[in-house]
Amino acid sequence: MPLFRDFTDEQLIEEVRSNNKELYVHIVERYQNKLMRYITYLIHDEQKAADIVQETFIKAYINLNGFNVNKKFSSWIYRIAHNEAMNLVKKYKKEVSMDVGFDIKSNLDIEEEFNKKEIIEKTKKCLSKMPIIYSEPLALHFLDDKSYEEISDILRIPMGTVATRINRAKAIMKNICQKNKLLPVRYFFLSDLSLCLFCRYFL
């Protein structure tokens, strides 16, 4: 009996399209939390994010026959989620803000130098001003480990534009931290790793 959990996304999709429809649950399990985090990051509303994620899985299932298994499924389903989120944004015609709350264990002993709650509140206030065209590729790259090529597929923009927007977002992040003294100089994004840790810690 094959271990479907070990299948690639694309292999699972082929099985689902071959009438093993119950295997779609593995796709849901793989992407439920990832998509929830991504959408919550974009629209700052967990309940609406949950609705969008549910709608994403439904639309993905309905349109599975249109998916090209020679492409990356992750980019395809993220694109559906992105479209659903943008539809909501357009519907309510209001600015999308970012929230904080994701946490990871890291070697950055920030708590010893700063009051974490105060930093989070300051960061939340500052980052809410970042335009979504910069915050979204930043989140996809540093929170969801998407490559520039994958982000290009998801957002339907050239890879050069992806790079430009991420670099701009990094500059905005650095400026925010310096202006508001959120982190000591040694944490000012000296590398992509430090930026990644910062994003995962505070976003």
Round to whole Å and give the CA distance between 10 and 12: 5
Round to whole Å and give the CA distance between 61 and 184: 47
Query: Quick one: 115 and 182 in the same domain?
Result: yes
Round to whole Å and give the CA distance between 109 and 157: 37
Query: Quick one: 9 and 86 in the same domain?
Result: yes
Tell whether the model's pLDDT for residue 166 goes beyond 80.
yes
Q: What is the pLDDT of residue 127?
A: 61
Work out how many domains the chain is built from and give that number: 2
Q: What is the pLDDT of residue 145?
A: 83
Query: CATH number for the domain including 127?
Result: 1.10.10.10
CA angle 97/102/108 to nearest 5° reads 120
| Range of the structural domain that residue 82 is part of | 4-92
Question: Torsion angle of alpha carbons 91, 97, 101, 102, nearest 10°?
Answer: 80
Round to whole Å and give the CA distance between 155 and 135: 12
**Residue 98 located in a structural domain:** no
Query: Quick one: 135 and 70 in the same domain?
Result: no
The pLDDT tens digits of the residues spanning 22-81 come to 999 999 999 999 999 888 878 878 899 999 999 999 999 999 999 998 889 999 999 999
